[in-house]
Amino acid sequence: MVFSSLEFIFFFLPFVAIIYKICNNIKARNIILIIASVFFYAFGEPKAVILMLLSIVINYGLALLMDKYNNRKRLFLALSVIINLALLVYYKYTGFIIESIDNVFSFNIDVPVIHLPIGISFFTFQAMSYVIDVYRGDVPAQKKIGNVLLYISFFPQLIAGPIVKYHDIEKQIDNRSITFEKYSSGVQRFLLGLFKKVLIANNVGAVWNLISSSDFSNMSMATAWLGALVYSLQIYFDFSGYSDMAIGLGRMFGFEFLENFNYPYISKSIREFWRRWHISLSTWFKEYLYIPLGGNRKGNIRTYVNLLIVFFCTGLWHGASWNSVIWGLWHGFFSVVERLGFGKVLAKDKTTIFSRIYTLFVVIVGFTIFALVDFNDLRTYITIMLFNANDVLIDNNFIFIIKNNIFIILAGVLISTPVYNWVTNKLKFNNKKIDCVFNIVFVILYLMGFMLSVAYLVSSSYNPFLYFRF
């Protein structure tokens, strides 16, 4: 079950919301959310439920032991980190490790087929966040296992984030309220995410599938760049759309999650890009890896090494494949380059034209690396993009795709900028009658968007979430 599915929109969510509303007691509401979350996960991953629950119980127990035996809390922290990473490595990276070793030494080892539980990267990182926060003394060890269970398994952010750190949400578990304004803004945010996912991400994703499945040997430079652009739009609207839906759902149940995206494609540097892209992951790595490694406190060389380690882990977190690792190191390389002095050059760009073009170039080429797992395909595609290897600037395929998809591509480019916020702010006149008219217009637009989304879901079978593989 996914947020952009008919069974979720018309059955699961309304049922849970109604039962939740009926109960006024916070304990009862938490129990309802726990039951709903376990059912939600079991709907798609019935066997993996036991794994998730086992992870929760282990981390809950280790945090209690840490609190009780303060002189041994490093031991319990180490056990927690080892167990969590062991689960992640086994399910996500075993095949990758064996395959990599076999490619180097030609051992002809049979690569085991291990099913990857959906969302394991997300709930594992949240479990680690809880234990580390307790170790640091940022929060007390939670005595109620139900609270830890709700924190890790809460269905809005369970399978594709955003990654919620325990210290950001701890107080909300037992103390939260829902106002009409909060609930309505949650519904609005959910619908916005649904539009982004269904109407934009799915459509530009279909264009990328068309381009990526074509014969690269005859591809034009323009088509290659168009493919890279639509994939960049797809992954942004796919993931930011899911995050919007998760944040909206959380708000509908009284929770406030931190933002996960802030218009990353308007960034003027790669460092700024990672302050705007997948914010929950970048801050997680900053708090729990970069700073413990020493951050920027131990000299320039150590800072650069720390950055490369973090981006290596970022790439590996995104996928058990070498192209994901290279994608992470690609961003790490430019982050180091900017720290070496290029960042000052970008800061002097008063028009911001060069800095924005540079950032988009790095990001789009990076997502091309991320998208193409096969290295032969990647090499061919990149040489066409950057060097026009086929000596064909524009082909008929490019013209055909543009003619049939120009509206959705332009819409994607436009909506990936803060134009929506700018328009809504401009339409506030501090006049009750005028503002009321515009509110009605926006309600109508949201209803129309919702009906279009539902119509698309009914008529189309293409509805993947890219981040489910993590």
Give tens-digit pLDDT for 211-223. 999 999 899 999 9
Whether residue 461 is predicted with pLDDT greater than 80 in this model: the reply is: no
Give the pLDDT confidence score for residue 463 in this predicted structure. 63
Residue 110 has pLDDT above 90, yes or no: no
Confidence band for 248, pLDDT divided at 50, 70 and 90: very high
pLDDT of residue 460: 73
pTM of the model: 0.93
Q: Across the chain, what does the average pLDDT equal? A: 92
Confidence of residue 423 (pLDDT cuts 50, 70, 90): confident
Does the pLDDT value for residue 467 go beyond 70?
no
CA torsion sign for 82, 86, 88, 89 is positive
Contact 23, 32 (CB under 8 A): yes
CA-based torsion, 92, 98, 104, 110: positive or negative:
negative
pLDDT tens per residue, range 21-60? 999 899 999 999 999 999 999 987 888 899 999 999 999 9
The whole-number pLDDT of residue 442 equals 78
Over residues 131-187, the pLDDT tens digits come to 999 999 999 999 999 999 999 999 999 988 799 999 999 999 999 988 888 999 999
Q: Is the pLDDT of residue 429 over 80?
A: no
Residues 362, 398 contacting (CB under 8 angstroms):
no
Dump pLDDT digits (tens) for 396-417.
999 999 999 999 999 999 999 9
What are the residue numbers of the active site? 318
**Nearest CA among 223, 177, 221 for reference residue 26:** 177
Taking alpha carbons only, the member of 207, 239, 213, 265 closest to residue 398 is 207
Distance CA 23, CA 114 (A): 41
